[in-house]
Amino acid sequence: MLLERSLVFVVLLVVFGAEKSLAQSGGLSRGSFPKGFVFGTASSSYQYEGAVKEDGRGRTVWDAFAHSFGKVIDFSNADVAVDQYHRYHEDIQLMKDMGMDAYRFSIAWSRIFPNGTGVVNQAGIDHYNKLIDALLANGIEPYVTLYHWDLPQALADRYNGWLDRQIIEDYANYAETCFKAFGDRVKHWMTLNEPHTFAVQGFDVGLQAPGRCSIPLLLFCRAGNSATEPYVVAHNVLLSHATVSDIYRRKYKQNQQGSVGIAFDAMWFEPMSDSPTDIDATQRAQDFQFGWFMDPLFFGDYPSSMRTRVGNRLPKFSTAEAALVKGSLDFVGVNHYTTYYAKHNSTNIIGILLNDTLADSGAITLPFKDGKAIGDRASSIWLYIVPQGIRRLMNYIKQRYGNPVVIITENGMDDFNNPFISIKDALKDDKRIRYHNDYLSNLSASIRQDGCNVQGYFAWSLLDNWEWAAGYTSRFGLYFIDYNDNLKRYPKNSVDWFKKLLKSA
């Protein structure tokens, strides 16, 4: 623990000196990043495509969840979303006009296998072939996520999805089908998006699909075990990724010359105080979020703090499984939005009340210290703007994991979907411009000054879209979507800012 505590201090000391002046300086340009650095925007199939009953697409766990009363704050669903299934040509032109190099999107498993397994749905293959070809024809590189939370409902019905090891075989079959169909043109694969998020939100607190939980305080908990299921899900996720990575390397990499990674959610955490207990708690908070997945992939096992605190509830890797998992990443995708404080949980009251993975860490994470917020807040209640956090996180990855290739697979902020302001005023998103400028400035410093191996940045998101349990109340897009006028796209001021950045030398 002393070594890990020291690591937190090393990261803080490395970046403290120059970060303030850099974040406040102007002059950000393409030249602020290495040659070949990739800029893009990101999306996911369920949040963008719509067309949920077209061309043979099967039902997903998010279809079921979104149509369950009270699960989405504005009672909406993504049956239409922003209709990118039909409008992808228009949206590709928007990316091209901005000067974006790449587009990160996800393939809907249930469009390829409507029942999760069985016979391939050719209409699904055809759709993604057309999308990929259209991107490449416009000079935009496809970055493909194989799983962005939309599990075929048939697999949840059959064996509870990620809770059963059968998922490893079914997911591998789906992934290999995609390698065969698209791998001649797709060179950047992410096996999964934010496994920590869907393990905890879906199987611990029940706020996302499939909505399983057992916390007594949460009256909507119907089924599940919050103390064990998230760990089982995460274990099966890691084995699924490693199995797919092994298949790709053995059978496809030599000819297709692609790479395989994961897009992780990763907050940065600052100690609430300089006390040893709070510094230790800060490391535990990181272990139970990012390290939960990264440590097995780089070291072959879960963090020691997790082994100690979770005990027999934490699954074990066999020798063969550990060897399969370790080293199975070609790059680290990072979805980073915000930074929180962390402090030691000096009482066990939370643990008694929750009895779940969040309590297991023994750390309390908050965006406030002495009544003061850690940074300005976006619309989402969890998103506070702390630009230096991205630099500190990059240095942490460099120090702990040996400076692997990193791609920022998501970064951005949202505005509230205010029905009482005009579209003209809604397009004035100066706060979003400052957000991207300051985060990119700190990211540039992590590369240029600190030597972090970051090779790409994807803004979330190209368009305003359906934001899971927040529905349509949240607007993350560079383009405004008029939900009252046939989903018309309008460029916000941030579009012009990105155009100028990407055209600059």
Active site residues: 194, 410
Q: CA nearest 443: which of 157, 67, 37? A: 37
3-state secondary structure string, 118-158? CCCCHHHHHHHHHHHHHHHHCCCEEEEECCCCCCEHHHHHH
Kindly calculate the radius of gyration of the chain based on its CA atoms and give it in whole angstroms.
22
Rounded alpha-carbon distances, angstroms, from residue 84 to 81, 117, 134, 141, 465: 8, 25, 13, 17, 10
CA atoms within 13 A on the CB side of 12: 14
CA dihedral sign of residues 179, 182, 186, 190? negative
Residues 6 or more apart in contact with residue 231 via CB below 8 angstroms? 199, 310, 313, 314, 315, 357
Give the ranges where 183-303 is alpha helix by DSSP (H): 195-203, 229-251, 253-256, 276-286, 292-299
Q: Max alpha carbon distance in the chain (Å)?
A: 60
The position carrying tokens 């209409």 is 123
Ranges assigned E (strand) in 268-370:
268-271, 331-335, 339-344, 363-366, 368-369
Degrees to nearest 5, angle at CA 271 with 265 and 273: 165
Judge contact between 84 and 43, C-beta under 8 A. Answer: yes
